[in-house]
Structure formats: C-alpha cells, structure tokens
Amino acid sequence: MRRIAAMLAAGALLLQAAPPVSAHAFLDHASPAVGSAVPSAPPAVTLWFTQNLEPAFSSVTVTNAAGQRVDLGNVRVPPGQPAELQVGLKPLAPGTYTVNWHVVSVDTHPTQGTFTFQVGNG
C-alpha cells in the first residue's frame, strides 16, 4: 500500500513539476456540428479546440462534394479566443461539405482532422 501511495505521489509530483504549458489541440466541438445536418447555409465554420492555437500554422478549408473550395480563405483566430478557429463560407447550396483542419497548438504540437456536415437534404 505504501508503495502504491509513493508511486501515486510521484505521479502527482510529475504533474506539479510540469510548467503551465499547452498540449496537443483536440477538436472540442464545431459549428456546424461534426456530422450534423443544418437546414440553411451557415455563414462560417467555427472550430473550438482544447488548447490555444498558433494562428500562423493553423488552417481550415471547406470543400463541396466535387472537391471545390467553398470557404472564403479568411481563416482567423478571433481576438481573445485563442482556442478558436474560424473561416467564412460562400453561399452554400444544399449538399454535403467537408471541413479539413490542421492546427498547431502554442507549444508546437500539430494535430489534424476532417469531418462533414450537410446543408438541407443533401
């Protein structure tokens, strides 16, 4: 029992010793939501991550079923929202769209992901 306690204490010390840093940025949620169907075309795609992002190395694109870009290319991390990534969209026709993101957290860990959402009946 004492050895278990000692090892758990060592683990706790490890956490305490760690400087206040970021880590891998995972997608927490998105708007439109991952895999969702929305009745009307959204004006933008917004992604919320679990860690703050490095804006210069973070990007998101949106393509239609034909693989054509439908985002406006104006990717930004909004001021005061360092864990958020946003891109505007062209007017979207009903259909299925693919969001492709690559981000780098502020401690330089890269992560990436892809998901789809649907506008109208698809």
Partner 1 sequence: MKPVLPRAIAAAAALLVAAPSAALAHGFAGQRFFPATILTDDPFVADEISLPTFTRPPTAPDGGNADDLDVDLSKRLTPNFGITMGRGWTYLQPKGAPAVTGFGPLQTGQQYQLFVNAPHEAIGLVGLDETWAHTGRVAALGAPDFTTLSPTFNFGKGLGDLPPSLPFLRPFAITGNLGFDVPLKAASAGLPNPDSFNYGFAFEYSFPYLECCVKDIGLRRPFSRLIPLVEVAFSTPIDRIPASRTVGTIQPGLIWSGQYVQIGAEAIIPASGATGHGYGVVVQLHFYLDDLFPNSIGKPVSEW
Task: Report d(CA 114, CA 85) in Å as an integer.
Answer: 14
Q: Which is nearer to partner 1, 8 or 93 (CB)?
A: 8
Binding string, residues 43-62; x marks residues near partner 1 by CB under 8 A: -------xx-----------
Residues 6+ apart with CB under 8 A from 77: 53, 55, 58, 84, 85, 86
Contact 45, 29 (CB under 8 A): no
Residue 33 lies near partner 1 (rule: CB under 8 A): yes
Residue 36 lies near partner 1 (rule: CB under 8 A): yes
| Minimum separation from the CB atom of position 92 to partner 1 (A) | 18
User: By CB neighbour count within 10 A (0-12 exposed, 13-18 middle, 19+ buried), where does 106 fall?
Assistant: middle
Given the rule CB under 8 A, which residues bind partner 1?
3-4, 7-8, 10-11, 14-15, 18-19, 21-24, 26-30, 33-36, 50-51, 107-116
